[in-house]
């Protein structure tokens, strides 16, 4: 079975869909039950404060620590007993990192659908299985019994976590989960271009317009006109079909990310990268926009 067949087989698993149907709303409800604090925690776990998804940064901890443990275990098997404590410590560090990776990954997973959700769930289950294997290995190491079995469990865990990491890579590079869907700034106009007659943008409304090759969201509130990228940074949702909020923000219709219309910043995730912001002016009755230069 080649890689594509394996990925397709995972994506077609009905039981993963059924489990996702039950688990995803339960996780989202848990955050909602926490009110504003729950939303703040959710934003933190997505990585809104970092301007980048937090999960992929944390996954380096268990993968790196357990790779170290595999090397040190290998040296021990070659008779170098002095590396034993180092291997045990690396497994403990990896377990601590795995908790952070699991919590952030579960939070990001709530913003996935269909095939990505099924593959994401399998990714999580494999990593949970690897964590259980490493935890058991550490218990055996601490009891100073069955050293051979402890090392075998860790080696098995390394194989399982590698399979989980492969699926994680596929979610990013194959399914574009966690990438910035507005990362095409070189296509945005840097000189003013006319996009809409001013009279065609009513008060308290939003419209999608084209500025050269790219879609821009125009919004009018209290007579002020705002323009940010139309495609949601999270997974490409059409912001003009979302909600125009009272505090000069827009909510994405797909997974509820909230962006400021004033500066494109993320107010609520799952998006972590801001929306590109445009300067706006009205000339000869036409609304004109250009990409706002980043502050240096
Ligand atoms: S596409 Fe997911 S929040 Fe916009």
CATH topology of domain 185-291: Rieske Iron-sulfur Protein (2.102.10)
Separation of alpha carbons 154 and 17, rounded Å: 30
Give the mean pLDDT of 79-89: 94
pLDDT band for position 295 (50/70/90)?
Answer: low
pLDDT tens-place string over residues 196-243: 999 999 999 999 999 988 899 999 998 899 999 999 999 999 999 999
Quote the pLDDT of residue 296: 53
In the structure, what pLDDT confidence band is assigned to residue 2 with cuts at 50, 70 and 90? confident
| pLDDT band per the 50, 70, 90 thresholds, residue 145 | confident
How many A from CA of 174 to the centre of ligand 1? 18
Cα of 252 vs centre of ligand 1, distance in Å, is 6
Inform me whether the pLDDT recorded for 293 exceeds 90: no
Mean pLDDT over each residue of the chain, to the nearest integer: 93
**Residue 268 near ligand 1, beta carbon < 6 Å:** no
Report the range of poorest mean pLDDT among 113-117, 144-148, 180-184.
180-184
**Are the CB atoms for 103 and 45 separated by under 8 Å?**
yes
Q: 192 with 288: CB under 8 angstroms?
A: yes
Question: What distance in Å separates the CA atoms of residue 108 and residue 45, rounded to the nearest whole number?
Answer: 8
pTM of the model: 0.85
Separation of alpha carbons 169 and 172, rounded Å: 5
Separation CA 108–CA 120 (nearest Å): 9
Q: Is 237 in the pocket of ligand 1 (CB under 6 A)?
A: yes
pLDDT tens digit sequence for 163-199: 999 999 999 998 888 888 887 666 888 899 999 999 9
Residue whose CA is at the smallest distance from ligand 1 atom 2: 255
Rounded distance from Cα 112 to ligand 1 centre (Å): 9
């Amino acid at each position: 079975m080649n890689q594509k067949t394996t990925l397709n087989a995972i994506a077609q698993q009905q039981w993963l869909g059924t489990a996702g149907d039950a688990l995803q709303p339960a996780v989202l409800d848990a955050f909602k039950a926490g009110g504003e604090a729950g939303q703040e925690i959710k934003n933190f776990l997505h990585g809104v404060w970092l301007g980048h998804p937090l999960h992929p940064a944390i996954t380096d901890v268990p993968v790196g620590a357990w790779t170290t443990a595999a090397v040190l275990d290998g040296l021990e098997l070659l008779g170098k007993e002095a590396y034993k404590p180092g291997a045990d410590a690396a497994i403990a560090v990896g377990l601590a990192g795995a908790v952070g990776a699991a919590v952030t990954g579960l939070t990001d997973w709530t913003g996935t659908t269909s095939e990505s959700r099924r593959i994401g769930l399998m990714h999580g289950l494999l990593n949970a299985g690897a964590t259980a294997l490493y935890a058991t290995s550490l218990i055996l190491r601490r009891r100073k019994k069955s050293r051979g079995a402890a090392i075998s469990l860790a080696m098995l865990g390394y194989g399982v976590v590698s399979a989980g990491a492969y699926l994680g890579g596929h979610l990013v590079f194959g399914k574009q989960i966690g990438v910035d869907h507005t990362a095409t700034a070189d296509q945005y106009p840097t000189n003013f271009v006319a996009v809409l007659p001013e009279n065609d943008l009513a008060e308290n409304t939003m419209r999608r317009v084209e500025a050269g090759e790219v879609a821009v969201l125009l919004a009018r509130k209290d007579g002020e006109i705002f323009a940010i990228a139309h495609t949601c940074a999270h997974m490409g949702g059409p912001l003009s079909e979302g909600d125009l909020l009272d505090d000069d923000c827009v909510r994405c219709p797909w997974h509820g990310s909230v962006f400021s219309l004033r500066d494109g910043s993320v107010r609520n995730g799952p998006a972590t990268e801001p929306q590109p912001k445009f300067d706006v002016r009205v000339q000869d009755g036409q609304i004109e926009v250009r990409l706002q230069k980043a502050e240096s």
